[in-house]
Structure 1
Amino acid sequence: MFRTLAATSVMALSLALPAHALDLSAMTDEERAIFREEVRAYLMDNPQVIMDAVAVLEQREQAAQAQADQSLVSDNADEIFNDGYSFVGGNPDGDITLVEFLDYRCGYCKRAHGEVAKLLETDGNIRLVVKEFPILGEQSLLASRFAVAAKQIAGDEAYKALNDALMAMNSDVNIRALKRMASTFGLDADAIEARMDSEEVTDEIRRTRALAQRLQITGTPTFVLQDELLRGYLPYDQMQALVDEKRG
């Protein structure tokens, strides 16, 4: 907060006064005191200057963050879009790729799940890549291990069924509930359980976590849409507008 106020104050001064007036080092103590009082009086009479400075500062910070995010995506593009192990859904040949980092215990991920499904259905030309990123405790990790193990054993259709079911699940996650869920889809629950703690499953989750760290992702859901990082939940309308924008 202090840094923001300080930066805003400096920017407000730059908007309100000519550049040479900011050279305080060239002033005497008396001149600096007079200058500060004049600045205070000006800002009190023109408080909108501070609001203008806040708006400019926010715009600059957002632009800098967007540029930094684009560089992160570019530097890690192969592992983001074509890691060779993450589930690929939607239209595999779509002209737009949407990547989602998710956690099954995340309430906003659960909300986003339906929005993403609607986007894929209504658009029809979006390739979806799902990244398992369990960060909300042991139940999150248990669910992800089970989903990844099912994908490795039974393939993408099994993963998609479990992914949908886990996103709809509101009760505690435990191995008994997970095996019961797998059985409803005709999957070999015992084989999936035996695979959960394998090095293959561990490596997939480890690699995704390392990627998320490089991308400075700390929460879920987080999306990558082409060259842009989208941090947090987005409703369907906003996602479709962003997709349309990417298509130009």
Structure 2
Amino acid sequence: MNNVLTKPNKKFKFVLILGLVANFWLAYESYELHKLKTAFNTIQISEPNPDLNKQIASLKKEVLLMNKVQQKYQNKKIAIQTSKIAAQQKEIAAQQKEIETQKQKIAQLHGEIRNLNVDKGVKVDKEVVEKILLKNPEIVIQSIAEYRFQEEQNFSNNDKKVIHNNYEQLYQNTQDPYIGNKNGTQLMVEFIDYNCDSCKRFSKTAQKLVANNPNLKIIIKEFPVFGETSGSSYGAKIANALYLKYPQKYYDFHKLLIDHTGDLTSNIVKVHLKRVGVTISDLEPLLKDSESNIANNKILAEKIGVNSTPSVFLGNEKINQLSYEDIQKKLDSINS
């Protein structure tokens, strides 16, 4: 029996140890809970700042004030610009008034000079004339302007003579293609390059002129200006050859080339040629004739002063204003 009391069995030892562990764990949990409570009690909860709304309101006022200042600055800037424009307009009006005054003076002085009546033997005082010119230099300026105008007229007359001397080659070359009325008596000539942007724009005008003037014949002078290897040079050669063999197909082909957007290459020319039902081999016998005609166009261009495209002629005149309205007026004046 003593052995039983003094030597506890293994089961009793395990229960004893388990109890000790449980007590230790409870003590540890109590300690941790105490720490949490202490930490919680030390937290100071900050209350909302009562001035926060005032600060926000103040910031809003500042923003509104800045917007007003900026708007005021913009309005002032606009007012200054408006004032400058008004001042400039006033200055222009003053200048125009001064010009009118000078014109009146010039007219008056011209009258005085005419009244000197030099033809009747009245001696003109050189000093008087010099004083008049020095006091009124605008007379000299107008005289120079009139001189230049007369020179331009003389130059224009010389141009007309040159055109008249080359009229047959300009207007009556049967190898040149055309658009419009084959038998039209109103004749116009256009030197073109298919890669020329101005030619592409004028093409619209030419088509409108043909549509509204049934008696108009526009002769096309193939005149490539971008070099022998350019796509437009190849296009000119093919177009002229096409006209020589299939004149009825020329207009459609010409329109495909001139309406093409972007750079015209030889490959694109061949594509457009197929679209009108013709192949390069069909035109080979006439390519030399086409090249010869284009060479003759270049010689003619040099004679009559053509060095760019489009260059347009009507009668014995080279047309410088290429708008539809300007050319139509000229055509109307010929008809009247």
* Range class of TM-score, shorter chain: 0.7 to 0.9
User: After TM superposition, where is structure 1 displaced by more than 4 Å over at least 4 residues in a row?
Assistant: 15-18, 41-45
| In structure 2, C-alpha distance between the alignment counterparts of 1:170 and 1:45, rounded to whole Å | 59
Check 1:72–1:117 CA distance in 2 against 1; reply closer, same or farther (3 A cut): same
CA positional deviation for 1:111 = 1.1
Corresponding residue of 1:216: 305
- In the TM superposition, what are the counterparts of 1:65-104 in structure 2 within 5 Å? 65-104=155-194
Corresponding residue of 1:152: 244
Check 1:79–1:43 CA distance in 2 against 1; reply closer, same or farther (3 A cut): same
Q: Percent identity?
A: 22
| In structure 2, C-alpha distance between the alignment counterparts of 1:195 and 1:175, rounded to whole Å | 19
* Higher share of residues assigned helix: 2
CA positional deviation for 1:49 = 2.4
- In the TM superposition, what are the counterparts of 1:35-184 in structure 2 within 5 Å? 45-137=135-227, 138-139=229-230, 140-153=232-245, 155-184=246-275
**Worse-superposed segment, 104-113 or 89-98:** 89-98
Corresponding residue of 2:333: 245
CA positional deviation for 1:84 = 1.4
What letter is aligned with 2:304? Answer: L
- Say which of 278, 285, 298 aligns to 1:187: 278
| In structure 2, C-alpha distance between the alignment counterparts of 1:176 and 1:124, rounded to whole Å | 35
| In structure 1, C-alpha distance between the alignment counterparts of 2:144 and 2:275, rounded to whole Å | 55
Encode CA deviations 1:81-132: one digit per residue, 9 max, x unaligned: 1111001331222231111111111111111111011011112111221111
The structure with the largest alpha-carbon Rg is 2
**Worse-superposed segment, 47-56 or 58-67:** 47-56
Check 1:55–1:45 CA distance in 2 against 1; reply closer, same or farther (3 A cut): same
| In structure 1, C-alpha distance between the alignment counterparts of 2:326 and 2:183, rounded to whole Å | 23
Q: Is the 8 A contact 2:195 2:263 kept in 1?
A: no
Number of equivalences: 214
What letter is aligned with 1:235? Answer: S
Which residues of structure 1 form unaligned runs of 5+?
Answer: 1-14, 19-34
RMSD of aligned residue pairs (Cα, Å): 2.8
TM-score by length of 2: 0.57
TM-score by length of 1: 0.76
Q: Is the 8 A contact 1:195 1:201 kept in 2?
A: no
What letter is aligned with 2:332? Answer: D
CA positional deviation for 1:54 = 4.1
What letter is aligned with 1:133? Answer: F
CA positional deviation for 1:213 = 1.0
Which residues of structure 2 form unaligned runs of 5+?
Answer: 1-109, 115-126
Give secondary structure in 2 for the equivalent of 1:183.
helix
